[in-house]
Structure 1
């Protein structure tokens, strides 16, 4: 038998396979099936739980309800939640009833969808985000349209040539676009090529364009350039935005909407 990391990975796979095949299992049953001590299994279960692969239940474990992709997306959705909610509230205040609005697949824009769910407005909502569409199922006053295209699992988003072609047939009153990074060159960046291409396309199809990114993303880089920030017209960010960036936005003719955190919002 191999020792070290390889053995551990094999054991983790064996635990997952056992839980898939047998459903929720006690630690003892898992230990018996895998041939390891209870202490080792407990450590392994902790690793698998941290990865989002399993859920711990009383005295044992089961395969996690969501896939690891969903778990990763949910983890991102929970990061800086207070700031995201504040940004979402500022976006909500800018919404124009009876208009057509595009909500992208980012986790900050997802918070805007959640606000719309609680306080519906008469809107036509277009999105390429599965999580956004799910939030808005059966919300009164809203018409929801999803772009078609290739499913990008990391972001639960639809991207690619079909999605871009569909955008060509739509004109939007407002676009709310998240960003992975706002580069030192004052351009919007994304971590994915197809996402970047679709985002650039979105910016050409809307009258009012809002880039939604908290202040920590300014001056950072991601791999794929989407478009110059000046092509957006407005940014929604928080009061942590450095003065230097406030000056730069002003020089670029980009309006900065500063969201104030809602007291002790978690």
Structure 2
């Protein structure tokens, strides 16, 4: 319960900015005294800075907390998508796991039920999730660190990708826009994702319903025949039709209501 409450406080402060103890108490559902103790713990960890009867996210922790908040968004859907993706992995194959938060759930699923596998990734958090697992060979792509999601990008990463071939790529997406194309917030990430797709026999897109109809700046690739898409049941009928018309092989996974409520509670 305490860990859940601390996570809720981090998420609230990241979303709302500076908040009073009373605001945090109402948002989290805990007493003022409990919130004050929790803020002392988070301050000692360097996560928050307390001031004037409240707190805010510490500047040094902003990126880490941002990733943690995104990781928790639509968590039940991401885990259901990861379960479906796990069933596609063949033992003794080579797979690339990108640095997205839904793909991270696949890495955590793989940790629970490992198999002989060669895993490549540009995600440091993904690599950490797969540390010290028997029969799993993990290679981290080198390059320039993109702090926003703890990923390696840039020319060195692209050069390394060109020397490799993967049986399957599991790729997240920042946005799938109304022009039926995948987009990223970062130019280097978009270019690397494009190279990943070119060097993989099969690309499987892991994307929850919130990513459809969004717009970001940098083009990754169009939705095209042969692309596999795993998403959740909240995806709209219009987007299901669009995916079919683009020739994508789409799997829609159910997210049990009880699981959603448990994750969001």
How would you bin the TM-score normalised by the shorter chain?
0.7 to 0.9
The size of the alignment, in residue pairs, is 216
Using structure 1 for the length normalisation, give the TM-score.
0.76
Structure 2: how far apart are the matches of 1:162 and 1:177?
20
CA deviations 1:60-93 (Å, max 9, x no partner) are: xxxxxx8321111111101111111111111111
Contact 1:210 1:232 in 2 (8 A): no
Counterpart CA distance in 2 for 1:71 and 1:234 is 31
Range moving further from structure 2, 230-239 or 189-198? 230-239
Q: Of 38, 42, 46, which residue of structure 1 is paired with 2:53?
A: 42
Paired with 1:121 and 1:70, the residues of 2 have a C-alpha distance of 30
Q: Looking at CA atoms only, which structure, 1 or 2, has the larger radius of gyration?
A: 1
Look up the SS of the partner of 2:138 in the other structure.
strand
Match of 2:78 among 76, 84, 87: 84
The alpha-carbon deviation at position 41 of structure 1 amounts to 3.1
Unmatched 5+ stretches in structure 2: 1-17, 19-42
- Give the corresponding residue for 1:203: 197
Q: Which stretch shifts more, 205-214 or 253-262? A: 253-262
Report the CA distance between 1:172 and its aligned residue: 0.3
Q: Give secondary structure in 1 for the equivalent of 2:202.
A: strand
Contact 1:203–1:231 (8 Å) recurs in 2: no
Distance (Å, rounded) in 2 between the aligned partners of 1:264 and 1:120: 27
Report the Cα offset of residue 232 of structure 1.
5.8
Partner Cα separation in structure 1 for residue 185 and residue 220 of structure 2 = 10
Q: Report what 2:128 is aligned to.
A: 134
Query: For residues 123 and 82 of structure 1, what CA distance do their matches in structure 2 show?
Result: 26
Shift of 1:42: 2.4
What secondary structure sits across from 1:166 in the alignment? helix
1:72 and 2:66 aligned: yes
2:223 maps to 1:223 = no
Q: TM-score, normalised by structure 2?
A: 0.77
Shift of 1:160: 0.3
Does 2:139 match 1:145?
yes
**Aligned equivalents of 1:95 and 1:127: distance in 2?**
15
How far apart, CA to CA, are the structure 2 residues paired with 1:106 and 1:232?
Answer: 21
Within 1, Cα distance between the matches of 2:236 and 2:142?
38
Counterpart CA distance in 1 for 2:195 and 2:226 is 12
